[in-house]
Amino acid sequence: MLFPYLHGETQQVARGYGAGCTPEFYGFNANLLLRYRGGRDPSRKDPVPHARRELFEAMQQIGAT
Protein backbone atom coordinates (compact mmCIF):
# COMPACT_ATOMS: atom_id res chain seq x y z
CA MET A 1 0.00 0.00 0.00
CA LEU A 2 1.32 3.45 -0.87
CA PHE A 3 0.84 6.58 1.20
CA PRO A 4 1.34 10.15 -0.01
CA TYR A 5 4.40 11.67 1.62
CA LEU A 6 5.89 15.16 1.39
CA HIS A 7 9.40 16.10 2.43
CA GLY A 8 10.39 19.69 3.07
CA GLU A 9 14.09 20.31 3.55
CA THR A 10 13.54 23.67 5.27
CA GLN A 11 10.36 22.63 7.17
CA GLN A 12 8.85 25.96 6.04
CA VAL A 13 5.64 24.34 4.80
CA ALA A 14 5.28 22.28 7.99
CA ARG A 15 5.62 25.43 10.09
CA GLY A 16 3.14 27.22 7.83
CA TYR A 17 0.53 24.53 8.50
CA GLY A 18 1.27 24.49 12.23
CA ALA A 19 2.67 20.95 12.28
CA GLY A 20 3.32 19.80 15.82
CA CYS A 21 5.93 17.29 14.69
CA THR A 22 7.50 15.95 11.54
CA PRO A 23 6.56 13.70 10.07
CA GLU A 24 2.95 14.39 11.01
CA PHE A 25 0.26 11.91 10.04
CA TYR A 26 -3.36 12.60 9.16
CA GLY A 27 -6.11 9.99 9.22
CA PHE A 28 -9.35 10.64 7.35
CA ASN A 29 -12.50 8.53 7.44
CA ALA A 30 -14.52 7.46 4.38
CA ASN A 31 -16.28 10.85 4.40
CA LEU A 32 -12.90 12.62 4.29
CA LEU A 33 -13.32 13.97 7.82
CA LEU A 34 -10.08 14.33 9.73
CA ARG A 35 -10.09 11.82 12.60
CA TYR A 36 -6.41 11.69 13.58
CA ARG A 37 -3.52 14.11 13.53
CA GLY A 38 -0.25 13.25 15.21
CA GLY A 39 3.22 11.87 15.04
CA ARG A 40 4.78 8.46 14.75
CA ASP A 41 4.72 5.97 17.57
CA PRO A 42 7.52 6.37 20.12
CA SER A 43 9.12 3.07 19.07
CA ARG A 44 10.04 4.20 15.55
CA LYS A 45 12.92 1.90 14.52
CA ASP A 46 13.65 0.26 17.89
CA PRO A 47 10.81 -1.08 20.06
CA VAL A 48 10.11 0.83 23.25
CA PRO A 49 8.75 -1.54 25.90
CA HIS A 50 5.06 -0.95 26.66
CA ALA A 51 4.87 2.05 24.31
CA ARG A 52 1.38 2.83 23.10
CA ARG A 53 0.92 2.34 19.35
CA GLU A 54 -1.16 5.52 18.98
CA LEU A 55 -0.91 5.85 15.20
CA PHE A 56 -1.70 2.18 14.61
CA GLU A 57 -4.62 2.24 17.06
CA ALA A 58 -6.04 5.40 15.50
CA MET A 59 -5.90 3.94 11.99
CA GLN A 60 -7.61 0.75 13.20
CA GLN A 61 -10.38 2.78 14.82
CA ILE A 62 -10.88 4.95 11.74
CA GLY A 63 -11.01 1.86 9.52
CA ALA A 64 -13.60 0.21 11.76
CA THR A 65 -16.06 3.11 11.59
* Domain residue spans of the chain: 21-64
Task: Please tell me the predicted confidence (pLDDT) of residue 31.
Answer: 93
Structure confidence by residue, pLDDT tens digits, 11-45: 888 888 888 777 788 899 999 999 998 887 776 67
Task: Look at the chain and count its residues.
Answer: 65
List of residues 6+ apart from 28 with CB closer than 8 A: 34, 35, 62
Model-wide pTM > 0.85? no
Residue 4 pLDDT greater than 80, yes or no: no
